[in-house]
Amino acid sequence: MDQTTLTAQFASTFHQQPARLVHAPGRVNLIGEHTDYNGGFVFPAAINFGTWIAASTRDDRQIDAVAVDFDNQRNQFSLDAIEFDEQQGWANYVRGVIKMLQHDFPQIGGANLMITGNVPQGAGLSSSASFEIAVLKAFSDLYDLNLDGVKAALLGQKAENDFVGCSCGIMDQLISAMGEEGQGMLLDCESLTFEHSNLPDDLDIVIINSNVKRGLVDSEYNLRRQQCEEAAAAMQVKSLRHADLPLLEACRDNMSDPVYRRARHIITENQRTVDTFRSLREGDIAAVSKAMAESHASMRDDFEITVKPIDYLVEIVSQVVGNKGGVRMTGGGFGGCVVALVPKNLVSEVTNTVNKFYHSETGLKQTIYVCSAEKGAFS
């Protein structure tokens, strides 16, 4: 739904004009997978898909929220009794975020919210983080809160961890809040400091959704987190950020083989992420290409979060782009999307190749998005 229609629908539902129209983007992670909750490095970009909210304040302490994309379902609750909603799953992102926000900003009052978005759901492009950050931006603007992007990201993550029940890291919320147009962001997930860098003009960000129906995502994600914590404990470091390969080898007998391989992924992925940020800055695309290929292999063999159709996509795209671009799975894993950095003159060849072979090999139908890097909600 476009913004004019959203505004019109807000007016006809709430009998007033919205005071604010806010937007928060989804994201794609260029490299640095599962490193965020290990205190490591990630290198995402905010993308031109996101969540829009038309909003106004109310004189009472009620929240009245409408989800356009869920058949205009309506969810109403009081700021004084925010509980988990078993019926309308989407509403828990609104409820959770507002509950967390109230701790720090008890002065907030009620609001009318009309919400729509175009981030593909369940594709690993952070539709939920974009939703959370959009709600936070709406309240920040409506109530003139002293809320910066990092604080907003932490509140969004807390809502997702403690209210919705998914133990994600900080990457998705932080890039949705603090992305920059045309740039990727190297984020240090321990200090929460970050640095932006221009993405090369001659490369497009191509995202290919495998449309694999994702199962067991939360349980496998949580299991990976536990295994990483186990590895860190076996090496007596605070987090895997503080481990290196010699230490891992020295402690190998203290952990099971899967736990050893999970740690090896994180340690090598942190290095690849920092290296890729530098290589992109220096225009060394062959090095970026190699790092993305190694990242994918590490996710496949050591972290074991890829699936066959995703491996196949990476294989056929890498045959087209060679060392002039890069390709790897992006996001939490077990389905979802592949991200490719593709020279502009090879985009149609990538698209044609995927259209020609993916369906006949896997029986699935892909969706391809040529994306741009966008500004975050709080940048």
With H, G, I as helix, E, B as strand and everything else as coil, classify residue 98: helix
Closer CB to ligand GLA, residue 112 or residue 298?
298
CA–CA separation, 230 and 209 (whole Å): 32
* Shortest Å distance, C-beta 309 to ligand GLA: 19
Report the DSSP pairing between strands 111-117 and 193-198.
unpaired
Q: What's the Cα-to-Cα distance from 102 to each of 4, 48, 110, 132, 134, rounded to whole Å?
A: 31, 30, 11, 14, 16
- Helices 149-158 and 91-104, interaxial angle, to 10°? 120
CB of 185 to ligand GLA, least distance (A): 14
Structure tokens belonging to residue 185: 């962001």
Nearer to ligand GLA, 56 or 227 (CB): 227
Structure tokens at 44: 């995402």
Nearer to ligand GLA by Cβ, of 135 and 168: the residue is: 168
Nearer to ligand GLA, 14 or 303 (CB): 303
Q: Is 172 a catalytic residue?
A: yes
CB of 336 to ligand GLA, least distance (A): 9
Residues near 45 by beta carbon (within 8 Å), at least 6 away in sequence: 27, 28, 30, 175, 179, 183, 184, 185, 199, 205, 373, 374
Minimal distance, residue 189 CB to ligand GLA, in Å: 9
Q: State the amino acid at position 130 in one-letter form.
A: S
Minimum distance between the CB of residue 116 and ligand GLA, rounded to whole angstroms? 22
Q: Rounded to an integer, what distance in angstroms lies between the CA atom of residue 88 and that of residue 74? A: 9
DSSP code of residue 343: E
Which residues share a beta bridge with 183? Answer: 198
Which residues of this chain interact with ligand GLA, rule CB under 6 A?
A: 29, 33-34, 36-37, 168-169, 171-172, 331-332
**Please, are residues 27 and 129 in contact by the beta-carbon 8 Å criterion?**
yes
Longest CA–CA separation in the chain, Å: 67
Judged by beta carbon, residue 150 or residue 251, the one nearer ligand GLA is: 150
Residue 66 or 305 having the CB closest to ligand GLA:
305
**Smallest separation (angstroms) from ligand GLA to the CB of 353:** 26
- Residue 187: partners with Cβ closer than 8 Å, 6 or more residues away: 36, 41, 42, 43, 44, 170, 171, 174, 175, 193, 194
Beta strands (DSSP E) in the chain are: 20-31, 41-57, 62-67, 73-78, 111-117, 183-188, 193-198, 203-209, 326-330, 337-343, 367-371
Instruction: Count each helix (H run) and each strand (E run) in the chain, helices first.
Output: 11, 11
Which one of the listed residues 64, 141, 144, 172 is annotated catalytic? 172
Closest separation in Å from C-beta 379 to ligand GLA: 19
Closer residue to ligand GLA in complex, CB, 117/331: 331
Residues labelled as active-site residues: 172
